[in-house]
Structures are given as structure tokens and as C-alpha cells.
A and B are shown apart, each in its own frame.
Chain A
């Protein structure tokens, strides 16, 4: 049964759906973790330039063992290569590019998202604070911000809320949420359910979402 998808398949499902947000010709920043996986599913024929906030526009494939350059990493500190047409620059230039809204899309992970599009993804009070990295800048940069995450947390509690309980990364910054169960758009401070994933019903999605969901007139079920 589809609901029993293991963790790996859930992540793959989300990553594959998120890939559809990327259009040919886009400049895209992918966050650390699951968002980085989206790169593995970019369809052939799409020309996409991936930005890494540590100063690389045009991330290539992972290097072959013989190609590894310790001076060439992505923002997750993994060794990478640069694709043809790539460029290197400083972090100041990198974030000027981000804040200046030159990127078409950023795909980020999330702990909580509110119905107003607030995002919390950097700290849990009481736990060690590791830092926000570039997330607080990126949410204000790209023209479209897509958050990908599990629909509920490991205690089966909703992560899409009326109001975030965790400290925010940004206020009213998220445009679209993609989970293992559904795709939702933040519109004029209401959350619109636009797609339901295979194996889930509209009722189940509503029941596992704390925020109020408006059903789109163009709702697709079994969408991915």
C-alpha cells in the first residue's frame, strides 16, 4: 500500500514532484538535505543553472574520484564539480545575486509552515542552535520559494499550521508547499490545496493539516 512507503521513497516522491517546479532556463538555489536531492531528478533537456551560496553558479555532477578538488564544494560542504558556463564569486556577490531577486526559484526544507507562508526551519528552542546559514537571506531572494517537507512530523502531528510555534526563518515568504501528501499554494493569506498525492484523499490531507485549506477549483487528485 502506498501509504506505507519507506522513508527513502517518500523523499524521492517529494523530490520528483519538486523537480516539476523547475523550468528550463531557470537559475535555482537548492537548500541543504532533501532539496539537494532534487538535482538528481532534473529531466534531461531542461537547461538549469544551480546556484550554491558559497560562490558557485552552475553546480555540476558529483566528481569522479579522480576529479575531486578540495577547493570546490557546495553549500552543504560536499565536493562537487562546475558545469560548462559556470562562474565563481565571493559570498557577498552570491547574496547580492540572491537578495537582488535574480534567482527564479529556491527550494528549501522546512520544520513548520504557516497558512500565511511563514517558514520555520532553523532552530528548536532548548536544543543547540546551529545557525541559520543562508536560509534567512534566501527566503527573501528568489522570485519563488518552494518548501518541501514531510506532511507531518515523526509524532504524526501537522507541520502545516495556522501559526508557526518555532522561531521563524522568514515571515510570509513561502509561495508553495510540497509534501508527501499534497501541494499547497499560499495565496492572499489563505492556503489553497492544489494537488493531492497518490494514495491520499482530500479528507486525509485536511485531517493532517492544522491550517485551514481552501480546495482549489482545479484540484488534482492522484497527482504524483
Chain B
């Protein structure tokens, strides 16, 4: 049985100071907007956050940052956020930058029982400093370790009461891997449907990875609206 929350406050109430959390999304697409807002209101502190980006100054993870709730951020690109820059330069925030594909695979590995893996990404660059490099078939690879989290906060378009999830378009991004890599995964879904109403062939994330669900409405802010003219 999955826990079905009726308030976002309840959904995040077990997240303690010092927790490691994964937060789905790429830019502002596919982020669990309401779960993030609830975390901001909870005032929980000293979080380690694993997410590809850190939101923008006034939305997404940027809100947690502004509220000084994050001690450490693990991501691949944090360039959309001025407060982030300020906190890093002031020594208030620790940051671990990891190549995007490596980040995705570290999370995937974390949920899949693989403790570490070798990847070509980063060989010969500053991120390989002090790392273990090994040669396979005459090519160098860098050892990378898996990532896991106490809580994963993710977003899906549709979820059922069995925890099965379906994502919409590029809002899938990091959400499926994070679902599996979190000890407790809470999914914010746009639509909660009866068990059995999602065709098993269409499930993107099997329900086994999801412990709690909550239905909510998102603003879905657009970072870079790009349109073409025409009919």
C-alpha cells in the first residue's frame, strides 16, 4: 500500500535536518514544485541536495537556497542562479559538480545495486584529480561511485494508487532514476488515477520504487520561451 498524502506539508514532514535528498527535474521542467515549496515552509536545514540544476533565484530549488537550507549541492550545471554564486563565493555552500551523464548514471547505479562504475567522462580534466583511472581496451576510464538519497522528491504526469508513474515528454529527465535511488520516494503527480487505469505497457516507473504520492497542480514556469512565427 502506498501512502497517499493530501497535504504537501505532510508529504515532507519526515525529512529531517541533515538529510540527503534527490530532486527531479532538468532546469524547471519536471520539478516537484509543490514538494519544494513545502520543504521551504518546513524550514528543514543542512540538506545535501542532488539535482541536475539548482533552480532559478525565485523558483524551484532556488527557493531552498535563498532560505539557506542547503549545505551541499551535487549537480552538473548551476549557472542560472545568482544566489548560488554568492553562497559559493562566501563559503556558505559546498558544491560538487559532476558531468551530467555521470550524474545520471551515478543515480541510476544507486538505485540498481551497482556501487561504482567506470566512465570516459572527465578523464584528463580537473574532475579526475585524485580519482582512479583504469584502462580498458586501450582507453582510459574514471571510476565513479553511486549516489543514494534518504528521500527522493520527484514529479510525474500520472500516478496510480499502486505507485506506477507516467511522465510527460522531457519532464521525465532524472525522475525515474531518482525514484529508485531514494530510500523513500515521494511522487508529486499532476493526476492520481485508479489502480489499473494505466496500461502496464505504458508504465515508465514501476510502483515498487515509490512510497508516497500526492496530487498537485504545477505552475510549470518556462525558463526560455522560444517560439516561431507563422500560422
Chain B residues with CB under 8 Å of A72's CB are: 169-170
CB distance from A39 to the nearest CB of B (A): 12
Chain B residues with CB under 8 Å of A133's CB are: 76-77, 99-100
Q: Are A137 and B89 in contact (CB under 8 A)?
A: no
CB distance from A16 to the nearest CB of B (A): 20
Interface segment out of the listed B123-131, B195-203, B206-214: B123-131
Chain B residues with CB under 8 Å of A63's CB are: 226-228
Within 8 A of B (CB), among A88-108: 88-92, 94-96, 98-99
B34 within 8 A of A: no
Q: Are B26 and A132 in contact (CB under 8 A)?
A: no
A10 within 8 A of B: no
Within 8 A of A (CB), among B202-231: 220-231
Q: Are A91 and B177 in contact (CB under 8 A)?
A: yes
Q: Are B104 and A92 in contact (CB under 8 A)?
A: yes
A129 within 8 A of B: yes
Q: Interface on chain B toward A: helix, strand, loop, or mixed SS?
A: loop
Q: Are B226 and A78 in contact (CB under 8 A)?
A: yes
A54 within 8 A of B: yes
A65 within 8 A of B: yes
A56 within 8 A of B: yes
Q: Are B227 and A79 in contact (CB under 8 A)?
A: yes
Tell whether A140 pairs with B121 under 8 Å between CB atoms, given A90-B174, A90-B177: yes
Chain A residues with CB under 8 Å of B230's CB are: 64
Q: Are A92 and B85 in contact (CB under 8 A)?
A: no
Q: Interface on chain A toward B: helix, strand, loop, or mixed SS?
A: loop
B115 within 8 A of A: no
A73 within 8 A of B: yes
Q: Are A54 and B173 in contact (CB under 8 A)?
A: yes
A202 within 8 A of B: no
Chain A residues with CB under 8 Å of B159's CB are: none
Chain A residues with CB under 8 Å of B224's CB are: 73, 76-79
Per-residue 0/1 for B54-91: is the Cβ within 8 Å of any A Cβ (1 yes, 0 no)? 00000000000000000000011111100001001100
Within 8 A of B (CB), among A162-184: 167-172
Bound form: Cα–Cα A3–B226 in Å: 31
Interface size on A, residues (CB 8 A): 53
Within 8 A of A (CB), among B104-122: 104-105, 107-108, 119-122
Q: Are B107 and A92 in contact (CB under 8 A)?
A: yes
Bound form: Cα–Cα A136–B127 in Å: 10
A70 within 8 A of B: yes
B163 within 8 A of A: no
B30 within 8 A of A: yes
Q: Are B75 and A131 in contact (CB under 8 A)?
A: yes
Tell whether A73 pairs with B227 under 8 Å between CB atoms, given A92-B105, A170-B125: no
CB distance from A60 to the nearest CB of B (A): 10
A124 within 8 A of B: no
Q: Which of B77, B108, B121 contacts A137 (CB 8 A)?
A: B121
Q: Are A64 and B176 in contact (CB under 8 A)?
A: no
What residue of chain A has the Cβ atom nearest to residue B224's Cβ?
A78
Chain A residues with CB under 8 Å of B75's CB are: 131
Within 8 A of B (CB), among A46-102: 52-56, 61-65, 68-73, 76-80, 82, 88-92, 94-96, 98-99
Chain B residues with CB under 8 Å of A132's CB are: 76-77, 97, 99-100, 127
Q: Residues of A at under 8 Å CB distance from B?
A: 52-56, 61-65, 68-73, 76-80, 82, 88-92, 94-96, 98-99, 118, 123, 128-138, 140-141, 167-172
Having A56-B169, A90-B172, one finds 10 other A-B pairs with CB under 8 Å, namely: A54-B170, A55-B26, A64-B229, A77-B28, A91-B101, A92-B176, A95-B104, A131-B79, A132-B97, A172-B124
8 contacts between A and B (CB under 8 A): A54-B26, A63-B227, A82-B169, A88-B172, A91-B26, A92-B108, A95-B104, A171-B123
